[in-house]
Amino acid sequence: MRIKVNQALVSEKAQTGIEVAGWVRTKRDAKGFSFVEINDGSCLKNLQAIVDHTLPGAETLADVLTGASVRLVGDLVPSPAKGQAWEFKATTFELVGKADATYPLQKKGHTPEFLRTIPHLRARTNRLGSTLRVRSKLAMAVHRFFQERGFAYVHTPVITASDCEGAGELFRVTTLDPLAPERDASGKADWAKDFFGRQSFLTVSGQLEGETLASALGDIYTFGPTFRAENSNTSRHASEFWMIEPEMSFCDLKGDMDVAEALVQYLVRAALEECAEELAFFDAYVDKGLLERLRLVAEKPFARVSYTEAVDILLASGRSFEFPVKWGENLQAEHERFLTETHFKCPVTVYNYPKTAKPFYMRQNDDSKTVAAMDLLVPGVGEIVGGSQREERLDRLEAAMSEHGLDLQAYAWYTDLRRFGTVPHAGFGLGFERMLMFVTGEGNIRDVIAYPRTPGHA
């Protein structure tokens, strides 16, 4: 019976006649036997196997280089070596797949930049392997969080005809021939002849459809891929990323912030509990101080300030920012990071933003200048959550849609929600990769997703 390396390493007793399989990290030859370090991806640590040169299959050892795949049968025995309870004493050895000396992941340090050039192999490194294990655990923790609270997991379309954020950062989905599209009378591409009979795009957010489902199921969440043709080449923007979007009926901005903060805290705790080995690795090799910061976040309540208070704090800071601070402008990354890293030194939720800086669907506050929006900012990353209470009043919503230049007819399905049993409701989007950056200390979004898509790179 094959057991995984992670199970072997925590075994409570010696075991005989078991099978292990994996990829060779290193091999060291001694007199009469070899040490072979095996990793099978189940955990960060390797299992050390001792392969006697007289064993069946041992004659292939000369061909066993870093990266080769091997299968061994043998016994799990107490290890005399420091730092490991168990080692594996092989009774048979099999070289499954050779790797020659050109294998790029030889035992030495590799820069993240180099590793990005070999995305098909880099998951075999300690660093990306650990990130992908954390990613898997946190994805399940997201579901646990919402399922425990009675939210329904819904699937909103990936292909859509609407632009939720109104920023025009859409990837077009078309089957028209780009070189010779069918044309309308004015000579432009004729979208009526396109696959869906109209223009369609990859979704920038499942929110609008999510709202329709929340007005039926009460509390819902989505967790899926999201696409933005946003030409920002930063360490925090990807063209394809995963977003978690809850939507809650009978909920206001305060309730929305409560859930967002509880989710972020829940995920940090889950990572501390379920990925202790990986986080210790990141703390040691990627971001010193990570563990201490995460423990604080797991325990301490987050700060909350209104946008107006945040602007006052920034103005009073005496800092000279690259982008000047001015009421009415969106906060820039440098402003967000000053608030969370320098001023509050903890995650902070900023709420009630000027309406000019935000999309059409946010609920207008009584001051007629701000909307019930919120962003959750964390040290090292900045914004990881963006959300709002939605405008549930039909007249206000239609006025805002007109102001934003939306075609009311095309969004009649959305305004129907306000015609038939409208309710106060709210939701937010948590960027999954940004959450992973926060939890691993990775500084670049390209290193928390297996196949990053960014401008110029697919």
Write down the least CB distance from residue 415 to Mg ion, Å. Answer: 23
> Under the rule (CB under 5 A), what is the footprint of Mg ion?
386
Residue whose CB is less far from ligand 4AD, 165 or 283: 165
Binding partner at 67 among Mg ion, ligand 4AD, none, C-beta below 5 to 8 Å by kind? none
The residue (of 22 and 382) whose beta carbon lies closer to ligand 4AD is: 382
Least CB distance to ligand 4AD at residue 386 (A): 2
Smallest gap, in angstroms, from Cβ of residue 213 to ligand 4AD?
12
Give the nearest distance from C-beta 149 to Mg ion in angstroms: 23
Contact, 216 vs 433, CB < 8 A? no
Please identify, using beta-carbon distances, which residue of 34 and 156 lies nearer to ligand 4AD. 156
- Choose between 87 and 245: whose C-beta lies nearer to ligand 4AD: 245
CA-based torsion, 274, 278, 280, 282: positive or negative: negative
129 binds, among Mg ion, ligand 4AD, none (CB under 5 to 8 A by kind): none
Which does residue 228 touch among ligand 4AD, Mg ion, none (CB within 5 to 8 A, set by kind)?
A: ligand 4AD
For residue 455, the surrounding DSSP H or E stretch is: none
**Cα separation, 235 vs 113, whole angstroms:** 12
Partner from Mg ion, ligand 4AD, none contacting 223, C-beta within 5 to 8 A by type: none
Q: In terms of CB distance, is 308 or 444 closer to ligand 4AD?
A: 444
Q: Is 304 helix (H, G, I), strand (E, B) or coil?
A: strand
Q: In angstroms, rounded to a whole number, what is the distance separating the alpha carbons of residues 9 and 285?
A: 22
CB 298 within 8 A of CB 265: yes
Widest CA span in the chain = 85
Nearer to ligand 4AD, 57 or 386 (CB): 386
Q: How far is CA 40 from CA 43, 153, 304, in A?
A: 7, 32, 44
Output 210 or 386, the one with its CB closest to Mg ion: 386
Least separation in angstroms between CB 303 and ligand 4AD: 17
Secondary structure class of 37 (helix, strand, coil): strand
Give the nearest distance from C-beta 443 to ligand 4AD in angstroms: 14
Please, which residues bridge with residue 339 across strands?
A: none
Q: What amino acid occupies position 146?
A: F
**Residue 127 interacting entry, from ligand 4AD, Mg ion, none, C-beta within 5 to 8 Å by type:** none
Alpha helices, H only, 275-391: 276-285, 290-299, 307-316, 333-337
- Residue with Cβ nearer ligand 4AD (130 or 454): 454
In the complex, minimum distance from the CB of residue 421 to ligand 4AD, in angstroms, rounded to a whole number = 21
Where are the alpha helices (H) located in 94-125, listed in sequence order? 112-116
Instruction: Label residue 367 exposed, middle or buried (CB < 10 Å: 0-12, 13-18, 19+).
Output: exposed
SS3 for 240? strand
Q: Which is nearer to ligand 4AD, 129 or 386 (CB)?
A: 386
Distances, alpha carbon 191 to alpha carbons 158, 170, 183, 200, 321, in Å: 19, 16, 8, 9, 45
- What, of ligand 4AD, Mg ion, none, does residue 24 touch, CB below 5 to 8 Å by kind? none
User: Least distance in Å: CB of 445 to ligand 4AD?
Assistant: 6
Say if residues 243 and 436 touch (Cβ distance below 8 Å): no
Binds 243: which of ligand 4AD, Mg ion, none (CB < 5-8 Å by kind): ligand 4AD
CB of residue 199 vs ligand 4AD: minimum separation in angstroms? Answer: 20
Using CB positions, name the residue nearest to Mg ion: 386
In this structure, what is the dihedral angle of CA atoms 356, 362, 366, 370, given to the nearest 10 degrees? -30
DSSP state of 342: I
Q: How far apart are CA 126 and CA 44, in angstroms?
A: 6
Binding residues for ligand 4AD (CB under 6 A): 164-165, 205, 207, 228, 230, 237-238, 241, 243, 245, 383-388, 427-429, 431, 433-434
- Chosen from Mg ion, ligand 4AD, none, partner binding at 207 (C-beta under 5 to 8 Å by type): ligand 4AD
431 binds, among ligand 4AD, Mg ion, none (CB under 5 to 8 A by kind): ligand 4AD
